[in-house]
Structure 1
Amino acid sequence: MDGIIFDIKRFAVHDGPGIRTTVFLKGCPLNCQWCHNPESIAPKPVYAPRTVHLNGHQFTENEQVGYTVSPNQLLAELQKEQIFMEESGGGVTFSGGEPLLQGPFLNKMLRLCQSHGMHTALDTSLFSSWKMIQKVAKATDLFLIDLKLMDDQRHQKYTGVSNQSVLENIQQLAALKKSFSIRIPIIPGVSTTPENIEASIAFLQSLQQPPASVDLLPFHNTAKAKYARFQMENPFGNQPSLKREASSEIKQQFEKAGFAVTIGA
C-alpha cells in the first residue's frame, strides 16, 4: 500500500511536542480559500514551472510536485531523525492536504511509527468517515484538529464542504478520551466574527473531554507565490499577513473560558 506525499519537513517545532518530522500527504477534499498549501489539494502529482537563476542565466523547467513512496521507504527516511525525536520528546506528524484521504496508507504508517518507538501526531480537519478515524486513532498519540468555522453555510462557502461530520467526529473523538488540540485559523472577516468565536467556545466547552490546547493560527500570505506558480485562483491574495498581536483579544476570550491557548501553534 503505497502513498503519495509532496514534502517532508525535518526538525519541525510547530507540529506537536518536541522536534518532529512532518510528512505532507497529497490530496484534500476541502478547498479552503486561505489554504497555505495549495499544491496539496490535487490527490495526484502535479507539474509546475520552476525558474532558477544561475550565473546570469535563467533556467525554467517543469517540476513534479508529489511522488509515490512505500511505507518502508518512508519509515527509513523518518528513522534518520529518530535520535532527535527521542532526545526532545518529539516524533512524527502526518499533515497535508488531508492525510485521512489516504486512510489505508496513513494507518499503515502510524502503526509502523509506533512499533518503532515514535510518537505520532495527525494534523487533520477530521473530514472523513468515523470508521476510518477510529482505525487511525488506535495508533495516533495526538490529534491536531482544524476547527475552521462553526456556521455550516459559511463553512461550505469558504471550504467547499459541510462541517456537520467534522463537528460530530470531534465530539466522538473527545468521547474516546484521545489527546487532541484544536487549531483555529484566524482569517480576517471570516473566522474572527464574534458569532464564530462564541460558537467555537461553546462547542469546545460541550465536549466530554476538553482539548489539551487551543492553537490560534493567524492568517499569513506566504503562499502567494505558490498560487501564481500553480496558476490557481487566490481569493485572499491581497490580504496582508496578520501579526500575532491581532489575535490577542481572541486569545483572551478562550483563556477566560478556561482553555490553554497558544498563538501560531
Structure 2
Amino acid sequence: MRSGAAGLLRAAVPPELGSAVVAALVGRFREGSPGVRLELREMGAEAQLGELAAGTLDAGVLRHPVDLAGLGLGEVLCRPLGAVVPDDGTHPPGAATPLSLAELAGRDLVLFPRRSGPALHDEILATCRRHGFEPGTVIAGRDPAFVVGMVLSGTAVAFAPHDWEVPAGAVWRELAGAPLLERVSAAWLRSRQDDPAVRLFATVVEQALTEYGGMVPVAQTVLARRAGVPVPRVGFTV
C-alpha cells in the first residue's frame, strides 16, 4: 500500500527520541490528516536510509550527519549533549560548573553501536579527541540499563541530553562550550516533496521536537555562537 492517497504513511524515528516527542508526533499527525494512517517504527539512521532508497519507507527522522543524497529535509534542530558521570558528591545538582571534555581523559565511553549511525559515531569520537578526550575503550551500548550500569561501575561515561533520567550514584554535567550537539530533522525522498502526508509529517516532527524535545534550529545556535551570545537554556526530554 502506498502513502498519501492510499491512506498510509510509512515512517520511522530513531531510538531514544523521547516518549513525549513520539506521542505528540503521532497525535498531531492523526489530528491533521485523519484520512491517512501513520505506520511508525523505531529504526536507526542507516536502516532508514536503506528503506527510504528502497521505497519501503516514506519518511523518517534522522540524526545528522548522514548521507543526504536524494533526500529532502525539514528544519534541522539541535540540543546540546552533556556527560553522565559517576557522582563523586562534590557537585550538587544545579551547582556544578561546566565540565570540559578533557577532564574525562582516561575514562571509557559508552556509545551507541557504530553500525546504527557510522557518520555520527565517528563525529562524536573526533570531537572528543579534538577537545582532549581519548576514550580508553569505546563500549557499544544503547540500552539505558546497560549504559547506567557501566557509568555506575566508575570507569565509564556516556553522553545524553539534560533531562536524561540519571539514577542515584550518577550525575549529568554540562559540557563547556557545548561541543556536542544532537542534530535531528525529518527526511524524505525528494520525489515525495509534494506529498501532503509527507509535508504534514515534517511539520509535526518539527513541532514535537521543539515543544517536547527542547530543540532549537541549528541556524539559531550557530548565529548565537558567532555573536558570542549564550544559547538559551531549554528543557529536554529523552
Give the structure-2-normalised TM-score. 0.28
Give the structure-1-normalised TM-score. 0.26
Higher relative contact order (CA 8 A, sep 6+): 2
